[in-house]
Amino acid sequence: MENILSMLIFFPAAAATVGFLIHKDSMRQYGVVVTVVEFVLALLLWYHFDPSMAGMQFVQNLPIISSMGIGYVAGVDGVSLFLLIMITFMTMIAVIGLTEKRNIKNLIITMLFLEMTMVGVFVSLDVIMFYVFWELTLIPMFYIIGFWGAERRFYAAMKFFLYTFIGSLIMLVGMLYFGYVYHETTGVWSFNLLDWYGAILPFDVQLWLFIAFFFGFAVKVPMIPFHTWLPLAHGEAPTIGSIILAAVLLKMETYGFIRFSLPLFPDAAVFFMWFMAGLAILAIIYTAMLAYAQEDMKQMIAYSSVSHMGVITLGVFALNTEGIAGAVYLMLGHAIVSGALFMCVGVLYDRRKTKMIKEFGGLAHNMPMFALVYAVVLMGSVGLPLTAGFVGEFLALLGFFKASPILTFIASLTIVLSAIYMLSMYKRTFFGELTNPKNKPLKDIFGRELVALGSLVALIIALGVYPKVVLDPLNTSVNHLTHVMQVKAVNEDTKEKLKALNTIGEVK
């Protein structure tokens, strides 16, 4: 088990390389097998994971440039473990439900390389290693949008790449400066995140570094006003690209806040708490209103995704166990729900070659199974109790309630707003008479579509009914994180604020 993280990182890349030798007619089956094996490896990691340990487990540390303290350092805790499982699961489901028919061999090879980079981001404990994998995710996603996308795919791919690349460059400057400060303080170079956790920085240095990391993470969340690339990217990307973009790539940024910004800059995190909360609430309300105004079903789900990411950000900056644990849980729930929503849109687009809501109506008559699946996924999106979406939203809002009941009430409007635009879209799509003759011959979901969507529906319900299996190990790591923040804070006011925010206790 000491090498399982390396296996998880590099197995998809090795399989993708072998994929060049596979005949194109067998490539779909090959991709499914590879992603299933990768998912099984992630489950094996979970089986051997000790939920009572707060720190990193399965740590691998191999020096690469010893003189500069750069190495291959990988490990997981309760936060990254379930995000890692989510990555492998959603990639597997996306490949199983793949509807794209153009150049499928290269698409699956690209997806496997993308899976390698995403896994690398969530297990990297060396900052330079993290940044390398972070940037490498851009290449396969740029290719997926630019080659398999819709009419404006090149513009969407370029905008996606430039926004995220520029934000990441600012973050890189912050990383390098942190390394320099660490060297000046200790006399040694190190980019090992575990070493950085032991460094205590002056308040003014924390502020500037928090801002540098903020640009790298905020662009990819995306937070307003950096959000304009996302609806375009979703609208032009193929279905499989939208699934991975919404389910995984957007979670890299909120994970970055949890892994870097909170434990490394606790005073700055408290200082910017209300600013971050303001941006999160603005995203929640504003993009929910934009979602309601959309006639394109995919664009509506894209804006909805930004709105729900605002709730996740709000939970992260509650700065307590309830909020952060809820944010991580909502990251998992949102990944499954948003992936399922984009897959449902893909089902309709594959049959009708349109995403416009007005083109449909009465589909429940000839697609009853699909209507049922879509309804369950939609309920998960609006946060219906006993679904994964409810658990995450409830805990995230509960955590921030400790800081501000009024702002929490405003943020909770996302549940009402999402119910309005989602139910309105569902009514126009599935209810009423089947009047459009183009919709009458549409077939219900079957085979691999039913397997893929059925698996997502089962998980939405399972995580809503029994969240304890995730929350127990998650609480251990999050409690450790909040303790580290209190210990590393240099201002007494910050320490008192963090103690006050963490008086409720862990989530059961």
From first to last of its 508 residues, the chain has per-residue pLDDT tens of: 778 999 999 999 999 999 999 998 899 999 999 999 999 999 999 999 999 888 899 999 999 999 899 999 999 999 999 999 999 999 999 999 888 878 899 999 999 999 999 999 999 999 999 999 999 999 999 999 999 988 888 998 999 899 889 989 999 999 999 999 999 999 899 999 999 998 889 999 999 999 999 998 988 777 888 888 888 888 888 989 999 988 888 888 899 999 999 999 999 999 999 999 999 999 999 999 999 999 999 989 989 988 899 999 999 999 999 999 999 999 999 999 999 999 999 999 988 888 899 999 899 999 999 999 999 999 999 989 999 989 999 999 999 998 899 999 998 887 888 889 999 999 999 998 888 889 888 999 888 899 999 999 999 999 999 999 999 999 999 999 999 999 888 888 888 888 888 875 444 4
What does the pLDDT read at residue 246?
A: 87
The DSSP line for 205-224 is: HHHHHHHHHHHHHHHHTTPT
What's the full length of the chain, in residues? Answer: 508
pTM to 2 decimal places: 0.93
Segments making up each domain of the chain, as ranges: 4-501
The CA–CA distances, whole Å, from 475 to 40, 299, 323 equal: 24, 35, 11
What does the pLDDT read at residue 228?
A: 82
Going by the DSSP 8-state scheme, the letter that residue 60 receives in this structure is: E
Distance, in Å, from the CA atom of 56 to the CA atom of 460, rounded to the nearest integer, reads 28
Tell me the two tokens of residue 362: 């009465």
What does the pLDDT read at residue 506?
A: 45
Distance, in Å, from the CA atom of 118 to the CA atom of 94, rounded to the nearest integer, reads 15
Strand 57-65 relative to strand 70-76: parallel, antiparallel, unpaired?
A: antiparallel
Structure-token match 């089962």, residue found: 458
Rounded (5°) CA angle 364-342-148: 120
What does the pLDDT read at residue 112?
A: 96
Residue 107 identity: L
Three-state DSSP string of 322-391: HHHHHHHHHHHHHHHHHHHHHHHHHHHHHHHCCCEHHHCCCCCCCCHHHHHHHHHHHHHHCCCCCCHHHH
What does the pLDDT read at residue 505?
A: 46
56 in helix, strand or coil?
coil
Q: Please count the CA atoms within 13 angstroms of the CA of 153 that sit on its side-chain side.
A: 16
Those residues with Cβ within 8 angstroms of residue 82's Cβ, 6 or more apart along the chain or in another chain: 328, 332, 470, 473, 474
**Contact 183/141 with Cβ under 8 angstroms?**
no
Straight-line distance from the first to the last Cα atom of the chain, in angstroms, rounded to the nearest whole number: 30
